[in-house]
Amino acid sequence: MGTFWGPDLEALRREDPEIAGVLLGELERQRSGLHLIASENFTSAAVLAALGSTLTNKYAEGYPGQRYYRGCAEVDRAEKLAIERAKALFGAEHVNVQPHSGASANMAAYAALVQPGDTVLAMDLPHGGHLTHGSKVNFSGKWFRTVGYHVRPDTELIDYDEVRELALAHRPALIICGATSYPRLLDFPVFRDIADEVGAYLMVDAAHIIGLVAGRAVPSPVPFADVVSCTTHKVLRGPRGGMLLCREPLGARIDKAVFPFTQGGPMMHAIAAKAVALREASRPEFQGYAHQVVRNSQALSAGLAAEGMRAVAGGTDTHLALADLRELGVCGRDAEDRCEQAGITLNKNAVPFDPEKPTTASGIRVGTAAVTTQGMGEAQMREIAGLIATAVRADPATAAGASALREIAVRAEELAQRFPAYALGSSYELA
């Protein structure tokens, strides 16, 4: 154990054995089950090393060469490397790597592009959008007049005719293209055309797909968007954090919107970890990983559909898939609970035009970024689909159902241990 964690864990054990126990418990949880949360992944040991480094001790308000504190020469180097690597990887003119999260990045983008009270056109939350795209419980819905676009009832694909009609009717200052539970590709050129037609800025929230963009597995939004916001975890396989890519004329506005408008001191240990992840994502083997993520997602979606869980939008082009459980007579909440008891972590999710409330939901969302990092392929996805199907149908209130869930948990752990996450003594290889 010391080989992987080094002396720091021993220091933590001596100083705070309770928190040390939490760390080890979480490590065991990650190793002993199947992890299909679409927004989660396993970082490399190198990323973890940067996150746990002495860089966390440095205050560095401002930007490289323009800090409000002395002693920033080393952290300046780290931030410059992260920026240069992101520019090269995505072909971006300007990059800000300081946002603490995807939501922080989105807030800064709003601050740079629009004023409170302006109209924003974005994907409606129940149809796949994000809280920061106009939900009334979020700053975006409280400070801006938000109009939601939807998917078509017949195809469950974005209704681009409706997007254009709404844009012409409401003349938004900002159009947001992006989603948190939409499994198909987004048509960036169409969004660009619509934005140009009404004189709106186009922001692409690429939090979920930016790793696939890095791996050349899906088209890039960078040539079409005024601003691209994203996270650095998920498929990109970096630390939890955010990032903004934009056109050079907007660079100064984006930087001022991040600091000093929405954030104070950046987390330099996280920025260094972002730099590490961006370097890893620039390697040819990462492209193989990204394409395998998509193949695995398609195999898992098809496997679930074969078990009676209808594929929303007919399937997936990305790392995530939605499955409608209504034919099985099980709601998403119960499916989520049963799968967790069986050692499979996924989340309930509303499907388009869902008759259930969000806390119940009619579907589940699955993602393949983490299991692909572990080295799993299509054969394992078909196996996992069968395990999920058995778990979803197993009623834990019955003796037979509870027994079935225990058996699946054993099988899930066996599969996870055949493809270990964080093998002690070495960092895992890129898939």
* Catalytic residue ranges: 59, 61, 205, 231, 234, 240
Residue 142 near residue 167, CB atoms below 8 Å = no
- Rounded CA-CA distance 55/271 in Å is 9
Nearest CA to 209 out of 370, 367, 318, 339 is that of 318
User: Read out DSSP for 331-393?
Assistant: -HHHHHHHHHHTTEE-EEE--TT-SS-TTT-SEEEEE-HHHHHTT--HHHHHHHHHHHHHHHH
Buried b (16+ CB within 10 A) or exposed e, 125-134: bbbbbbbbbb
Q: Which two tokens stand for residue 146?
A: 């938000």
Interacting residues of 16 by C-beta distance below 8 A, sequence separation 6+? none
- Rounded CA-CA distance 312/152 in Å is 12
Residue 259 near residue 391, CB atoms below 8 Å = no
